Structure 1
Amino acid sequence: MDNLLFTPPRTLRIHDRLLDLSTPRVMGILNVTQDSFYDQSRYPTVTLALQKAEQMLQQGATFLDVGGYSSRPGADDIPVDEELRRVVPVIEALAQRFPEAVLSVDTFRAAVAERAVEAGAALVNDISGGELDPDMFATVGRLQMPYILMHMRGTPQTMTTLNQYEDLVQELVDFFQEKVYFLRKHLVKDIILDPGFGFAKNRTQNFALLAELDTLKMLELPLLVGLSRKSLIWRTLGIKPEEALNGTTVLHTLALQKGANILRVHDVKEAMEVIQLVNCLPH
């Protein structure tokens, strides 16, 4: 039986409906960029994004996460106008074609989040946890949007040099507690935590974090995990990101057993199969 003290909320409010998270959900990745680390996840035109979105929804995705700023280590910085040019038309087209989908915008910029919500996004996914735009928390609170709070240090350009921790998991707990306090002050009601695998964390730290992921349940908020085809998999196995699906499935299994509520993935069908099988285990 679940320890009631450490059971995260099982619902997420999306506009006027409650989304049940008692069975984990899948978030499909739609990168409208030219330089994301996994080239088969790049959909730089509206037509390509719509085609991939349709496939992901048919395979069982609940969320579609649209990002126009590559967050791979060392990625080029782009201006706000370029990010808006990439993201807004895709979200508008997705909202019109797939009204049942929950659209998320992957951005750390408040101005992009606001325009994306106007275009049809229902969720803001901020890799910086509010660190890179001081207006983000106030904007999300004013918009009354659910918010994915991810842990990262620095920027995509500097994060690989900022992975020194005395106690990684405890520092994540402290980070999340502080950020949630300020989000609540801005009246943000629905918060999802993302520990930020691969962001300012080396390979050893990523595996240690996965082993202790269930510690974050003490924060009593839903957990999103993004492990799909990341370098901790393919560097460990000595393969390429294109070959990392099997390793991704293994780590997704472990993440679900440690309490993940949402898997953010490139490969929806396989992630749905993991959820279905893990859900058959006695709780």
Structure 2
Amino acid sequence: MGILNLTPDSFSDGGQFNSEKSALIQAEKLLKEGAEIIDIGPQSTRPNAEFLSAEKEINRIGNIISRIKKEFPEALISLDTFYAETIKFGFNEGIDMINDISGGQYDAKMFDIAAETKLPYILMHVNPSYESMHDKIEFKDITLEVNRYFSQKATELLQKGVTDIILDPGFGFGKTVDDQMKMMNEVEYLGFRKFPLLIGISRKSFIYKPLGKSPLDINEETQKLHRKVLEQGAKILRVHEVAAAKETLTQFLRKK
């Protein structure tokens, strides 16, 4: 899954792809490098980012989804939003997947729209409100807590008729460095192996801050961690550097 941020304020690539032309060029680059899914994000969720309404998200997306689908019909598109209204718009434009960082907690209509559209739904672990999204919580047992959350939310989704569920443990959202490293070591226990697991650690601070590096200077360390999670059963890698992740995946599959 290659990341396509349409935002002016994302933490590592803000403003680079927030025009239709630059977004299309980047989408083509991601696909050529080996991305199978393009994750379109109209709103930054970094700490202290500008909060947008669904209407502003939709205006920011414009024709980009339909243009990508027209130019690159083989591409699968996920839409990274916590608004049901944005998903409804994206569905009409041709998206293939919902990537909701809120687990349905920031918009009460999200699970209903997932059921209505019958799109695959990415369920991420996160704190219960937008305001507390990045509050660092020290969990007694992070793996146990994430699994409890997954169990509760997946049950809600299944009861509404959403059966195509992908789990994302939410690296970079409201977790200490120690807890995130613990999750890294226990990926195989996350989600009970019942649903596919998506891992999004690209350019995350729990990697680069302890090393005293920038988010753009940790590719080698990130690929080692990608290999680690693949070995534990992860099925989707959400990344900025698609070519490097593709090479890691190719090597992993070759040695499997």
TM-score (norm 2): 0.96
Q: C-alpha separation between the residues in 2 aligned to 1:155 and 1:242?
A: 29
Q: CA deviation at 1:156?
A: 5.3
- Give the share of equivalent positions with the same residue, in percent: 38
C-alpha change, 1:88 and 1:121, in structure 2 (3 Å) is farther
The correspondence of residues 16-95 of structure 1 with structure 2, limited to 5 A, is 27-39=1-13, 42-95=16-69
Q: C-alpha separation between the residues in 2 aligned to 1:112 and 1:179?
A: 21
Structure 1, unaligned runs of 5 or more: 1-26
Which residue type is aligned with residue 152 of structure 2? E
Deviations 1:150-194 (A, max 9, x none): 000044543232413221111111110111111011111210000
Larger CA deviation: 98-107 vs 244-253: 244-253
Mapped pair 1:207 → 2:175:
no
Which residue type is aligned with residue 129 of structure 1? G
Q: CA deviation at 1:219?
A: 4.2
TM-score (norm 1): 0.87
Q: C-alpha separation between the residues in 1 aligned to 2:212 and 2:81?
A: 31
Paired positions, count: 256
Q: CA deviation at 1:217?
A: 4.9
Q: C-alpha separation between the residues in 2 aligned to 1:41 and 1:113?
A: 23
Mapped pair 1:172 → 2:146:
yes
Choose from 189, 192, 210 the match for 1:218: 192
C-alpha change, 1:229 and 1:135, in structure 2 (3 Å) is same
Q: Which has the higher contact order (CA 8 A, sep 6+)?
A: 1
The answer (yes or no) to whether the contact 1:74–1:156 under 8 Å persists in 2 is no
Matched residue SS, 1:158: coil
Q: C-alpha separation between the residues in 1 aligned to 2:227 and 2:137?
A: 26
Choose from 74, 78, 86 the match for 1:112: 86
Which residue type is aligned with residue 188 of structure 1? V
Matching residue of 2:202: 228
* Aligned CA-pair RMSD: 1.4
Matched residue SS, 2:229: helix
Which residue type is aligned with residue 138 of structure 2? Q
The answer (yes or no) to whether the contact 1:91–1:120 under 8 Å persists in 2 is yes
